[in-house]
């Protein structure tokens, strides 16, 4: 069983773990255990990052990717949550869409790339589409499961106090009761969205993924790693901010 650590010790250990990771990595490259032309040394990443910043590539790539990410996340999460909520609440809609969902669900987001190119071309819309599809299903199942898990006795309570109508049940019972599950789906989608950004941009839409592809074709592995770490950093920020929002919305939970 895990004991509780003080917050300071927890953070300290995390920083120490990162230092050991980067230190070992640097040592492995410096000592020749890893080939420098295949794996860049951590100390090479700073200059590579500075060169990208000075050329304006880094800022532009982030701006482009954030645009795809935000829009794709917004569309996919909103639609996924809405359809999940409605299917969870309506047996008729659930039955109606069951076959369609079973047909489409196993298709991975990346499989839609050819259609994205065909329908939208090498454009922001194409990348947004792929990201939206990949987060749609996460949010759909999170919301659907959360609604199905709502205590049926709460619906009786709502009916007893005059809130038996569809909209009253939705806003007074279903949404707040499902909020922990919906937010868990949104959080998973935040991570999945960044993964999809790379996939969506690999086929040429400008952004972090496209820049990584260009760098890898020139064997500039240090630049590739710079963008990998950039993405990890951006994910950490979005997850951190989301944690604040989640904490505020679920302050009633223990």
Partner 1 sequence: MIDGTCVASLEEAGFSHDGGAHFVFRHVSLTLARGEFVAVLGPSGVGKSTLLRVLMGLVRPTEGQVGGSACAVGAVGSQGAGRRSRAMVFQDARLLPWRSVLRNVEFGLEGLGLNSAERATRAREALRLVGLEQEAGRWPRRLSGGQRQRVGVARALTVDPDLLLMDEPFGALDAITRTGLQDELRRIWRQTGKTVIFVTHDIEEALRLATRIIVLAGGPPAHIVGEIAPTDAQRNPETQDFAQCAARLRALIAH
Residues that bind partner 1 (CB under 8 A): 153-154, 156-157, 159-163, 168, 172-173, 176-177, 179, 252-254
In terms of Cα–Cα distance, which of 222, 221, 220, 233 is closest to 194?
A: 233
- CB nearer to partner 1: pick between 175 and 228: 175
42 contacts 26 by C-beta, under 8 angstroms: yes
CB of 87 to partner 1, least distance (A): 22
CB of 186 to partner 1, least distance (A): 17
- CB nearer to partner 1: pick between 109 and 185: 185
CB of 252 to partner 1, least distance (A): 5
What span, in angstroms and rounded, lies between the C-alpha atoms of 80 and 239? 19
- CB nearer to partner 1: pick between 37 and 253: 253
For 80, 136, 237, the CA distances from 120, given in Å and listed in that order, are: 21, 19, 30
What span, in angstroms and rounded, lies between the C-alpha atoms of 108 and 20? 36
CB of 159 to partner 1, least distance (A): 6
200 contacts 209 by C-beta, under 8 angstroms: yes
- CB nearer to partner 1: pick between 41 and 177: 177
């Amino acid at each position: 069983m895990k004991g509780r650590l003080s917050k300071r010790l927890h953070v300290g250990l995390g920083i120490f773990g990162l230092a050991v990771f980067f230190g070992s990595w640097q040592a492995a490259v410096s000592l020749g255990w890893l080939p420098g032309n295949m794996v860049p040394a951590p100390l090479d990443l700073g200059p590579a990052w500075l060169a990208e910043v000075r050329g304006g590539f880094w800022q532009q790539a982030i701006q482009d990717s954030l645009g795809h990410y935000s829009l794709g996340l917004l569309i996919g999460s909103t639609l996924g949550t809405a359809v999940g909520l409605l299917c969870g609440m309506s047996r008729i809609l659930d039955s109606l869409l069951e076959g369609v969902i079973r047909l489409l669900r196993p298709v991975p987001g990346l499989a839609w790339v050819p259609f994205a190119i065909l329908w939208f071309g090498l454009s922001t819309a194409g990348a947004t589409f792929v990201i939206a599809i990949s987060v749609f299903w996460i949010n759909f199942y999170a919301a659907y499961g959360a609604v199905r898990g709502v205590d049926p006795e709460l619906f009786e309570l709502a009916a007893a106090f005059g809130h038996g109508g569809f909209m009253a049940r939705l806003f007074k019972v279903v949404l707040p009761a499902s909020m922990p599950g919906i937010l868990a789906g949104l959080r998973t989608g935040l991570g999945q969205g960044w993964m999809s950004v790379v996939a969506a941009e690999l086929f040429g839409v400008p952004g972090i993924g496209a820049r990584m592809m260009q760098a890898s074709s020139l064997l500039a592995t240090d630049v590739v790693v710079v963008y990998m770490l950039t993405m990890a950093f951006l994910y950490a920020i979005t997850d951190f901010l989301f944690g604040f929002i989640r904490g505020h919305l679920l302050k009633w939970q223990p």
